[in-house]
Structure 1
Amino acid sequence: MMDHREFLGSLPADLRERMVERSDGPGLWHLAGHFGAILAVGGLIAAGVPGWWLLLPVQGVLIVFLFTLEHEATHRTPFASVGLNDWAGRVCGFLILLPFEWFRAFHMAHHRWTNLPGKDPELEGGKPATWRAWGWHVSGLPYWGSQLRLMLALVGGRVTGAYVAEGAKGRVVVEARVMVLGCVAAALTLLWTPVVIWVWVVPVLLGQPFLRLYLLAEHGDCPEVANMFENTRTTFTTRAVRWLTWNMPYHVEHHVWPMVPFHRLPEVHGLMRDKLRVTAEGYVAFTKDYLARRR
């Protein structure tokens, strides 16, 4: 039974080198499309077009799924420019209250110890084990609560988590404080217009449950082993969802080969499709199976 290391070792050296090449073009086009959609929908909401309130969850989904770009930026793979990767990650992190410098350390630890209890920081909160726990998790409320506690700690200079290197703690604290100043500036705009409430705050609250459902499929109910072909799930879905999520439904592919840019993950999928062991035929199918196992 081949594991992820053996798979990568079996590939020709020239192919491995080509697949990890980075460029700005594909990422910039994708970024323009994603942020363009956010600005377009936000503009319609701000203009108060008929039925504008129906656009609130659409705007929310567009914003909260910037998480997938921030996630990719931690690997510095969406763009060839290191600075562009980092600033894209910081902007996305601000919009979804997920400080980029802290998340980079958290996420690198997740990749190193994927789905291993006591080591993978993603498992610290546990996965919902009952229908009631699932509903609470999917509501997004636990996420906002944990992020507010995290931000308060970081702003106060308390950086917990062994995964944050000592030399990175200063950057983590500074970034959190700058984010808070940005939130204060956004709140001050309420003195003359409520637009920030309707194009940002309410939408991200409505969009967060969709992100929770999506993220649960990545590793939920996967074996707690070191092999990336077993501890991670690839979810087959539509082209639109793959666009929104920067190709991250190819999640086994990403974990096996995390240095491959997002736009090449379909090629990686073609290389390893017959090696995949944990997959789902869409997010609805995964959710049905996940809940069935909780009865």
Structure 2
Amino acid sequence: MDHKEFVSGFDRTRLAHMQERQNRAGLVHLFGHVCLIAALALYVGLSLPFWYLAMVPLGIALVFLFTLEHEATHKTPFRSEWLNEAAGHVSGYLILQPFLWFRYFHLAHHRFTNIPGKDPELLAGHKPEGWAAYVWHVTGFPYWIGMTAQLVGNALGRDPGEYVPKSARARVKREAQRMLGIYGLLALTFLVTDLLLWIWVLPLVIGMPFLRLYLLAEHGRCAFVANMFENTRTTYTNRIVRFLAWNMPYHVEHHAIPNVPFHQLPDLHKEMKGHHKVIAESYTAFTKDYLRELTS
């Protein structure tokens, strides 16, 4: 059975219930994520004992806003449209990833998941094969370089990617111009204080390798086929990771039925048990397996 057969055989009433969006679950989760970032940023900002060590969890909490932005591309974290859009845009600003552009990029990824020549994630080189490529990938620098180039290119009106329809390209351009303008204003604060360096910029750089390792497990070493049960991996992990990643470790579930909000994915996982083709027992286990298969 492939994912399409599974979905077609799913009880319609049960599926409709699972696809219901709500503000409460999203706002509670968002409140926890924001409070964690704020508490760690305050700890670093006040230079409390061993504050420099706190930049590691701060960076991880910041970069994992990617998973909120990702969820917002599907308009599922909240019932209110404006909350989804606000969460997506703010998350994008904080991690240097334009939200509107990413929505088109990501929807193309869902349309052509793990299909060579069509999936934009594969075209962007998100699945390193050799040791040198793997180390370079995990550092996070390809992300920062790529996103900076994408942002500047979008702002200049260059081709943002064939997955962005012509009708949206003017908006993608304006989005990038606004982002660059805000970053320019924030850069002026460095004339007065270097606070943003310690509570935002450096933590992002420190945290990005953790996100890169996490994201590799979603489709890395999966089959180049259309069946979501084979081209996507669900990874078992602890509550902390599931919280930071907005339940996206249940990634087969998300790809099979993208309209199911994050808070319903654990229940969908229970319904889907027995159909998974690719599962990792942990991110550590996946990483070890990935490293064993790397070429020189």
Q: Same fold judged by TM-score > 0.5?
A: yes
The yes-or-no answer on 1:46 pairing with 2:45 is yes
Amino acid at match of 1:238: N
Aligned partners of 2:86 and 2:157: how far apart in 1? 22
* Aligned twin of 1:9: 8
Does the 8 Å CA contact 2:37/2:58 hold for their aligned counterparts?
Answer: yes
Range 127-136 or range 232-241, more displaced: 127-136
Measured in 1, the distance between the counterparts of 2:83 and 2:112 equals 27
> Who is 1:73 aligned against?
72
Q: CA deviation at 1:171?
A: 1.3
1:70 and 1:100 in contact (8 A); partners too: yes
TM-score (norm 2): 0.98
Corresponding residue for residue 258 of structure 1: 258
Partner of 1:61: 60
For structure 2, the 5+ residue unaligned runs are: none
Structure 1 contact 61–204 (Cα < 8 Å) conserved: yes
Q: Which runs of 5+ in 1 are unaligned?
A: none
Name the residue aligned to 2:88.
89
Q: Conserved in 1, the CA contact under 8 Å of 2:150 and 2:160? A: no
- Return the offset for 1:159: 3.1
Aligned AA (2:14):
L
- What is the rounded CA distance, in whole Å, between the counterparts of 1:236 and 1:271 in structure 2? 16
Q: Which moved more, 1:131-140 or 1:69-78?
A: 131-140
The reply to whether residue 115 of structure 1 matches residue 114 of structure 2 is yes
Letter in 1 for 2:47: G
> What letter is aligned with 1:264?
Q
- The answer on whether the counterparts of 1:237 and 1:282 sit within 8 Å (CA) in structure 2 is yes
- Report the Cα distance in structure 2 between the residues aligned to 1:30 and 1:170, rounded to whole angstroms: 33
Matches within 5 A, 1:86-165: 86-126=85-125, 127-165=127-165
How many pairs were matched up?
Answer: 294
2:187 corresponds to 1:176: no
- Residues 257 and 241 of structure 1: CA distance in aligned 2, closer, same or farther (over 3 Å): same
Deviation at 1:160, TM superposition (A): 2.7
Q: Give, in whole Å, the separation in 2 of the partners of 1:289 and 1:12.
A: 36
Shift of 1:287: 0.5
Corresponding position of 2:34: 35
SS of the residue corresponding to residue 146 of structure 1 reads: helix
| CA RMSD of superposed structures (Å) | 0.8
For the residues of structure 1 that align with 2:148 and 2:178, how far apart are their CA atoms? Answer: 15
Shift of 1:275: 0.5
User: What is the alpha-carbon distance in structure 1 between the residues aligned to residue 35 and residue 16 of structure 2?
Assistant: 32
Is the contact made by 1:159 and 1:173 (CA closer than 8 Å) also made in structure 2?
no
Greater shift, 197-206 or 153-162, is seen at 153-162
1:216 aligned onto 2:209:
no
Please list the CA deviations of residues 118-170 of structure 1 after superposition, one character each: whole Å capped at 9, or x if unmatched: 11000013321111211110000111111111111011111331110111111
1:249: Cα distance to partner? Answer: 0.2
Structure-1 separation of matches of 2:59 and 2:256: 30
Match of 1:20 in 2: 19
Secondary structure of the corresponding residue to residue 52 of structure 1: coil
Cα deviations across residues 184-231 of structure 1 (Å, max 9, x unaligned)? 121111111110000000000000000000000000010000000000
